[in-house]
A = this chain, B = another copy of it.
Amino acid sequence: MSHEARVIVSTVNDLSELIRQFIHHLLPQNHPRAEIELLYRMMRDYPERGGKRIRGQLVLMSALAYGGRTEPLERVPGLELPMSGFMARAVPLASALELFQNWVLIHDDIEDESEERRGSPALHRIHGMALALNAGDALHVYMWEAVFQGPAEARAEFLETIHRTAEGQHMDLGWVAAERWDISPQDYLEMVRLKTAYYTVVAPLRLGMIAAGLTPDPRFLEAGLALGAAFQIRDDVLNLTADRLDYGKEIAGDLLEGKRTLMLLWWLERANPEQHEFFLKAMNKPRVDKSAQDMAQILEWLLSSGAPQHAMTVANAEAERGLHILEQALSDAPNGRAVKIILEQMRSLATRTH
């Protein structure tokens, strides 16, 4: 499949448009059988709901940071750059990482029994579980189509990233399935590093450097795990506290799903015996049987305990540590303008308040 991008990149948001176009051309659209066209529409649904494509953008920014070694990127203001050379190697990888995120979200939404995704009903709420599960698998294969259009060195990176993400997801879901609440904050940190940090920060930084023809900096691992953990801890806090319209997710969805979060684990260690008992009784019910009143009570205790503030403090510490290591790692990169943008974006990702 050939892809001719006509976009000129002059702002960071244009990188997202490059990815959108690549995915648009990669995924199939028409089929003589109406049934199979429905599958194609289902595969396009989540990618077309948009989102910020932060992971794909980070792949391209990392490629720009290192690609500057071979192409003069600073000749014009911003990052103006036609699609050529190493960017043609980077865009398939950035798009593949976004496709990874999208097929994983289809399956996550089924696993978590989520109602909504990006402000609309989750795919399995529209088409039923069976068709949505299968569409996630079909999209997974298109992720590999995209990977194969990038440099060969990226394959091992995708294998590693998906292995680790599946392991983190298994830990998270396994605690829910086993009704386990004897989880330490350290367990939680290990889980989110696997579940979130690999594919959100570690892999994008590495894939960009691979696209630029270089071997990934080993410091990206520690930096990415810290920044990714900061991102997920904040995401958990925002899930509980943010304004619905502002954020576009179900408020307190994590409570309904029984997600183990740093806030909950921290509060639970400090809850009095009555609260503890109330909590376990209310939480160890299937989602549909959970009472809104119970959830509101737990939410109130949680918010008034200082748990969100504590979680934010941990997130900030992880963010600062990650940014410090990342800054050192990127100090070798030839394109200082791209480095500056990456650090700003990572700071904003790991310290966002909405």
Contact residues of A with B, CB < 8 Å? 31, 33, 35-36, 38-39, 104, 107, 110-112, 127-131, 133-135, 137-138, 140-141, 144-145, 148, 155, 159, 162-163, 166-167, 169-171, 173-177, 190
CA distance A127 to B128 in the complex (A): 21
Contact present for A167 and B36 (CB under 8 Å): yes
- A selection of 12 A-B contacts at a CB cut-off of 8 Å is A31-B167, A39-B174, A104-B137, A107-B134, A110-B129, A128-B177, A130-B173, A130-B177, A131-B173, A137-B166, A148-B155, A148-B159
Other-chain contact of A39, B33, B38, B170, B176 (Cβ < 8 Å) = B170
Other-chain contact of A174, B110, B131, B159 (Cβ < 8 Å) = B131
Other-chain contact of A138, B130, B134, B166, B175 (Cβ < 8 Å) = B166
Describe A's contact surface by its main secondary structure.
helix
Q: In the complex, how many angstroms separate the beta carbon of A317 from the nearest chain B beta carbon?
A: 24
Given the interface contacts A133-B110, A144-B159, does A39 sit within 8 Å of B167 by beta carbon?
yes
Contact present for A133 and B159 (CB under 8 Å): no
List of B residues within 8 angstroms of A175 by Cβ: 35
Give the number of copies in the complex.
2
CA distance A31 to B174 in the complex (A): 15
List of B residues within 8 angstroms of A170 by Cβ: 35-36, 38-39, 131, 134-135, 138
Q: In the complex, how many angstroms separate the beta carbon of A192 from the nearest chain B beta carbon?
A: 14
Other-chain contact of A134, B35, B38, B144, B173 (Cβ < 8 Å) = B173
CA distance A33 to B184 in the complex (A): 14
List of B residues within 8 angstroms of A33 by Cβ: 171, 190
List of B residues within 8 angstroms of A159 by Cβ: 141, 144-145, 148
CA distance A155 to B141 in the complex (A): 11
Contact present for A140 and B138 (CB under 8 Å): no
Q: In the complex, how many angstroms separate the beta carbon of A149 from the nearest chain B beta carbon?
A: 11
Given the interface contacts A35-B174, A38-B174, A159-B145, does A169 sit within 8 Å of B111 by beta carbon?
no
CA distance A133 to B135 in the complex (A): 13
List of B residues within 8 angstroms of A107 by Cβ: 133-134, 137
Knowing that A144-B144, A145-B159, A148-B159 touch, tell me 11 more A-B residue pairs with CB under 8 angstroms: A31-B167, A33-B171, A36-B170, A39-B174, A111-B133, A127-B177, A128-B177, A131-B173, A133-B133, A134-B170, A137-B140
Instruction: Considering the complex, give the chain B residue whose CB is closest to the CB of A152.
Output: B152
Q: In the complex, how many angstroms separate the beta carbon of A96 from the nearest chain B beta carbon?
A: 12
List of B residues within 8 angstroms of A171 by Cβ: 33, 35-36
Contact present for A166 and B141 (CB under 8 Å): yes
List of B residues within 8 angstroms of A130 by Cβ: 110-112, 173, 176-177
Instruction: Considering the complex, give the chain B residue whose CB is closest to the CB of A128.
Output: B177
List of B residues within 8 angstroms of A110 by Cβ: 129-130, 133
CA distance A211 to B107 in the complex (A): 34
